[in-house]
Amino acid sequence: MSETFTAEKLLIKVINDFADFLPYIVLVGGWVPYVYAKYKWKNVPNLAVSTSDIDFGVGNKEFKGKDSIASYVRKLGYGERHVSMDRMAPFVPIVRDVSSNLRAEVEFIADPNASKGIIHKLIGGEIKINEIENFNLLLESVTMVKIDKQKVQIPKEAMFAFHKLFTFVQRENSQKFKKDQYYDY
């Protein structure tokens, strides 16, 4: 399972672009089962990826840097999907691979009880932050994997599965509901 398919190139690009921010964010969402299979377990063949975006969890870890992720992605020339047509903020960053015309949204998720000040300093006020109840469970039980040359935090397997089981019943979108069940499987 050592091949890198096209969509994974976007994940690796984002991880390398976000190298300075990786100690403060956790890779979550649809890429996590794939990352377990390829980078952690290393012997699971051809696990499918069923996501088109790249999700990061944001917790209460104090960020000491100067630039926020919002200002950084703008400097790097990431695209933007504006949540409202009449305002420039909030936006969702979009990473692109010009060689393949592939693109993916980069989304950020936090627990509604997380410190807004810490999140604002790290992410910036311009990027849309999705909130999920009890999301801190994922961020408090992490392990490290090496992707390309970067150490990336991901939720521990048991906590990832538990969180999906705990929250999937709250989904309003039936497709995401089914996807959560697939991830647990």
Cα–Cα distance, 20 to 67 (Å, whole number)? 10
Cα pseudo-dihedral 148, 154, 158, 162, rounded to 10 = -140
pLDDT at 175: 57
pLDDT at 128: 95
Residue 75's identity, in one-letter code, is K
Asked whether the beta carbons of 154 and 143 are under 8 A apart, the reply is yes
The domain containing residue 43 runs over which residues? 6-180
pLDDT at 22: 97
Query: Is 1 part of any domain?
Result: no
Name the phi and psi angles at 62, rounded to 5: -60, 125
pLDDT at 15: 97
pLDDT at 86: 74
Could you give the residue ranges of the DSSP H alpha helices within the chain?
6-17, 31-35, 69-76, 116-123, 136-139, 157-167, 174-184
pLDDT at 149: 93
Asked whether the beta carbons of 29 and 11 are under 8 A apart, the reply is no
Nearest residue to 26 via CA among 172, 111, 152, 126: 152
- Between the alpha carbon of residue 42 and those of residues 3, 18, 36, the distances in Å are 12, 24, 8
Tens of pLDDT along the chain (185 residues) come to: 445 567 889 999 999 999 999 999 999 988 988 898 888 888 777 666 667 799 999 999 999 888 999 999 999 999 998 887 777 779 999 999 878 788 999 999 999 999 999 999 999 999 999 998 888 888 999 999 999 999 999 999 887 776 666 565 555 655 555 555 555 55
Query: Is 64 part of any domain?
Result: yes
Cα–Cα distance, 46 to 38 (Å, whole number)? 9
pLDDT at 18: 97
Domain of 139, CATH number, reads 3.30.460
pLDDT at 124: 94
Q: How many domains does the chain have?
A: 1
Cα pseudo-dihedral 50, 10, 87, 74, rounded to 10 = 160
- Between the alpha carbon of residue 178 and those of residues 37, 157, 169, 171, the distances in Å are 20, 19, 10, 9
Query: Is 185 part of any domain?
Result: no
Query: Is 87 part of any domain?
Result: yes
The residue count for the chain? 185
pLDDT at 177: 52
